[in-house]
Amino acid sequence: MQKYYKKYFSIFVLPTLLAYLVAFIIPLVMGVYLSFCKFKTVSDAEFVGLSNYLFVFKDSQGFLHALWFTIKFAVVGILSTNLIAFALAVLLTKKVKGTNIFRTIFFMPNLIGGIVLGYIWQLLLNGILIKIVGADITFSATYGYWGLIILFNWQMIGYLMIIYIAGIQSIPADLFEAAQMDGANGRQRLFKITLPMVMTSITICTFLTLTNSFKMFDQNFALTAGAPAHKTSMLALDIYNTYYGRIGFAGIGQAKAVIFTIILIVFAVIQLRITRAKEVE
């Protein structure tokens, strides 16, 4: 049977594979190579060894600042979105009136694209800031930071909540009944049953928020565009600005992208190891 199938490779696999090569694999290989080159256009690339990489780590290049800003953002972003989403999921599985309507409302922001989200929150936050301190969000990196955190929460909470609700609903009801018979109170049930049983959901949600916060571009681009003075540029925006900001800097941008990729993979692997270890079968 397998031999018979084999001659259909070109019909079943080739279209996808060609598109994948063009969109991803060839650019990836070229990108890694060009990170070791100096070039203005792709055709005049000249091999320069590690010098792009060394250049990236000079403070003036903004990469270290963007990395630190992204890490600070990711830590607070992951914790706040997951805690709030989990709390909402617990409340919404308690058979409160109107559960479906609440779920619908909380999820809706997730369907809105990053650019539009950025401008919606720019309007709201600038309105508040101008009223209170008389300056807009581009005035201080602190405003930008918290603006991004609020935006990220508004966008992600509904999505995570859906996953947590599914996790909580899949816990067998007799577990809770047995615990109640044994006299366990609400808090004990939460920490001894609900939390360990939704560990799989926690793994998924922390993974999603970790990768989303590291890869965040559109929201950053629209809300602050890095203002003031690139202080609120996250990694993706910093790399984008390096590619397109100055002619001849694309090699540096490419080196930054390689480092970014490695950092993201390392963080994701560490996170999966930690949360997977806590899952119960």
Partner 1 sequence: MAKKKKIQSYGIFALLVVLACVFIYPILLVIQNSFKGKLFISNTPFELPNKETFVGVQNYVEGFAKTNFHKSFGYSLFITIFSVLAIVLFTSMTAWYITRVKSKLTSTLYYIFLLSMVVPFQMVMYTMSKLANTIYLDNPVGIIVLYLGFGSGMAVFMFSGFIKGIPVELEEATLIDGCNPIKMFFKVILPVLKPILITVAILDAMWIWNDFLLPYLILGSNYRTIPVAIQYLKSGYGSIDYGQLMAMIVLSLIPIVAFYFACQKHIIEGIVAGAVKG
Site residues for partner 1, window 161-190 (CB under 8 A)? 162-163, 166
Least distance between partner 1 and beta carbon 84 (Å): 9
Is 127 a binder of partner 1 (CB under 8 A)? yes
Which of these segments, 57-65, 66-74, 187-195, 262-270, binds partner 1 (CB under 8 A)? 262-270
Cα(151)–Cα(129) distance, integer angstroms: 15
Is 60 a binder of partner 1 (CB under 8 A)? no
| Pair 210, 266: CB distance under 8 Å | no
Is 34 a binder of partner 1 (CB under 8 A)? yes
Which CB, 49 or 186, lies closer to partner 1?
Answer: 186
**Given candidates 54, 79, 105, 274, which one binds partner 1 under the rule CB under 8 A?**
105
| Pair 56, 63: CB distance under 8 Å | yes
Phi and psi (nearest 5°) for 246?
Answer: -130, 135
- Residues between 206 and 225 with contacts to partner 1, criterion CB under 8 A: 208, 214-215, 217-218, 221-222
Which CB, 51 or 110, lies closer to partner 1?
Answer: 110
**Given candidates 76, 115, 175, 184, which one binds partner 1 under the rule CB under 8 A?**
115
User: For 63, what's the count of Cα atoms within 13 Å in the CB-facing half-sphere?
Assistant: 22
CA angle 62, 65, 67 (to 5 degrees): 105
Q: Exposed e or buried b for every residue in 119-145, given b needs 16+ CB within 10 A? A: ebbbeebbeebeeeeeebbbbbbebbb
Cα(176)–Cα(182) distance, integer angstroms: 10
Is 193 a binder of partner 1 (CB under 8 A)? no
Token pair in block for residue 269: 């692997």
Is 254 a binder of partner 1 (CB under 8 A)? yes
Q: At what angle do helices 235-245 and 63-92 cross, to 10 degrees?
A: 140
For partner 1, how many residues bind (rule: CB under 8 A)? 91
**Given candidates 65, 189, 204, 279, which one binds partner 1 under the rule CB under 8 A?**
204
Is 88 a binder of partner 1 (CB under 8 A)? yes
Which CB, 175 or 264, lies closer to partner 1?
Answer: 264
- Residues between 133 and 152 with contacts to partner 1, criterion CB under 8 A: 136
**Given candidates 66, 92, 141, 252, which one binds partner 1 under the rule CB under 8 A?**
92
Cα(130)–Cα(148) distance, integer angstroms: 17
Cα(178)–Cα(236) distance, integer angstroms: 49
Distance between alpha carbon 65 and the CA centroid of its chain, in Å? 18
Least distance between partner 1 and beta carbon 192 (Å): 21
Least distance between partner 1 and beta carbon 120 (Å): 5
Which CB, 105 or 229, lies closer to partner 1?
Answer: 105
Is 73 a binder of partner 1 (CB under 8 A)? no
